[in-house]
């Protein structure tokens, strides 16, 4: 293979950076234009005596004139999107211009302002494309976190990086009759989606990592490193309901990893047991209740309905509130 001349490499780098800069500038100008159009529409509507009827008539007429003058992109539906964009983000300086117009069309549909702002922040920080953003909204990504990330945290907390439940609808494996090895293999085959579902800061380290002591050999299903929390994250996969044995095993794995693998500048290791269901009594009276580095999370191989998902989340919130009171 012929080595690339430094001149070619340098020129390619300049072209790529210039194109990226043009895209960023164009995207910012486009968002500003749509935001300004939305603002003018809203302000004009506010002067109408019958806002709903008045606004509908104005938009239809406006769409016809703009389309005739400027072509596609100014249909009535898109003007409605611009109006919704301004209403959802009335302060221009708060708009994250690294996100696209399609991102904002999706975000503007979120009714709760605080939730909408948090999704915008997480989307920008984590580089979610529009498909991932829509999937995370549909799967209640933020609601499934044990603790919603703060906008300006003093220090990241483990609960901001742990979910319950996890949604693995992207695996495409049967909901029943699968083995732990089937689940593990499917997660590795869909590693990119798995990392996205795990959340920010995760990097894959190993599968079936061998831990050897003087008297025994152990194999950890999946090992990750979270560069934000600065710690290893061990994941043990189960195809059954959580048991005392599962918790004891993970507790031992974490202790072994801290002793044999963790570097001096790493934070203590986190252990996550992924199971089909939790047992309230086992969770309450095991080391999970007092160990802030051990977690048990349910997973689903399909995207639950909105009602089922909310019930799962509510159950978890009640359990964690009780745990907090006990502490």
- pLDDT category of residue 327 using cuts at 50, 70 and 90: very low
Tokens coding 177: 């009759």
Confidence at 112, pLDDT banded by 50, 70, 90: very high
For residue 321, give Cα distances in angstroms to 150, 215, 327. Answer: 19, 41, 10
| pLDDT interval class at 323 (50, 70, 90) | very low
pLDDT at 300 over 70: yes
Question: In the chain, what are the domain boundaries?
Answer: 6-138, 144-326
Burial (CB < 10 A; 0-12, 13-18, 19+), residue 222, is buried
Whether the CB-CB separation of 79 and 59 falls below 8 Å is answered with: yes
**pLDDT grade, residue 4 (50/70/90)?**
low
Mean pLDDT over 53-69 rounds to: 80
Contact 237, 184 (CB under 8 A): yes
The predicted model gives 293-304 an average pLDDT of: 92
Question: The tokens of 8 are what?
Answer: 């070619």
Range with lowest mean pLDDT among 43-47, 128-132, 169-173, 196-200: 43-47
Write out pLDDT tens, residues 155-173: 888 999 999 999 999 998 8
pLDDT in tens, 199-223: 999 999 999 999 988 888 999 999 9
Q: What is the dihedral of CA 169, 273, 265, 258, to 10 degrees?
A: -150
**pLDDT tops 90 at residue 179:** yes
Quickly count: other Cβ atoms within 10 Å of residue 151's Cβ: 8
Q: In what order do the strands lie in the sheet with 231-237?
A: 166-167, 294-300, 270-275, 231-237, 217-226, 202-212
Reported pTM: 0.84
Give yes or no for residue 42 having a pLDDT over 80. Answer: yes
Span 144-326: which CATH code?
3.40.1350.10
Question: Is 57 a residue whose pLDDT tops 80?
Answer: no
Is pLDDT above 90 for 232? yes
**pLDDT value of position 71:** 85
Task: Say what the pLDDT of residue 105 is.
Answer: 97
């Amino acid at each position: 293979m012929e080595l690339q001349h430094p001149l070619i490499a340098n020129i390619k780098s300049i072209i790529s950076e210039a194109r990226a800069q043009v895209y960023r500038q164009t995207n910012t100008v486009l968002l500003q234009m749509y935001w300004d159009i939305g603002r003018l529409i809203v302000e004009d509507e506010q002067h109408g005596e019958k806002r709903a009827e008045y606004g509908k008539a104005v938009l239809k007429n406006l769409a016809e004139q703009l389309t005739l003058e400027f072509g596609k992109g100014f249909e009535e539906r898109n003007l409605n999107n611009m109006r919704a964009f301004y209403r959802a983000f009335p302060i221009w300086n708060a708009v994250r211009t690294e996100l696209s117009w399609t991102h904002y069309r999706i975000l503007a549909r979120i009714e709760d302002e605080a939730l909408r702002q948090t999704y915008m922040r997480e989307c920008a920080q984590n580089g979610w494309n529009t498909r991932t953003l829509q999937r995370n909204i549909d799967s209640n990504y933020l609601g499934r976190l044990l603790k919603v990330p703060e906008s300006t945290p003093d220090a990241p907390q483990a609960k901001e990086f742990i979910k319950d439940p996890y949604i693995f609808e992207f695996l495409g494996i049967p909901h029943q009759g699968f083995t732990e090895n089937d689940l593990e293999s499917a997660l590795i085959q869909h590693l990119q989606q798995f990392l996205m579902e795990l959340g920010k800061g995760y990097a894959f380290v190993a599968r079936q990592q061998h831990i050897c002591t003087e008297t025994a050999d152990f194999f950890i299903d999946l090992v990750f490193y979270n560069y934000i929390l600065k710690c290893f994250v061990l994941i043990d996969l189960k195809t059954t309901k959580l048991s005392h044995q599962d918790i004891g095993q993970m507790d031992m794995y974490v202790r072994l990893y801290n002793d044999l693998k963790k570097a001096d500048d790493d934070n203590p290791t986190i252990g996550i047991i992924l199971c089909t269901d939790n047992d309230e009594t086992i969770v309450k009276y095991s080391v999970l209740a007092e160990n802030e580095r051990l977690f048990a999370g349910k997973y689903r191989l399909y995207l639950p309905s909105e009602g089922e998902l909310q019930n799962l989340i509510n159950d978890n919130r009640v359990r964690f509130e009780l745990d907090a009171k006990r502490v």
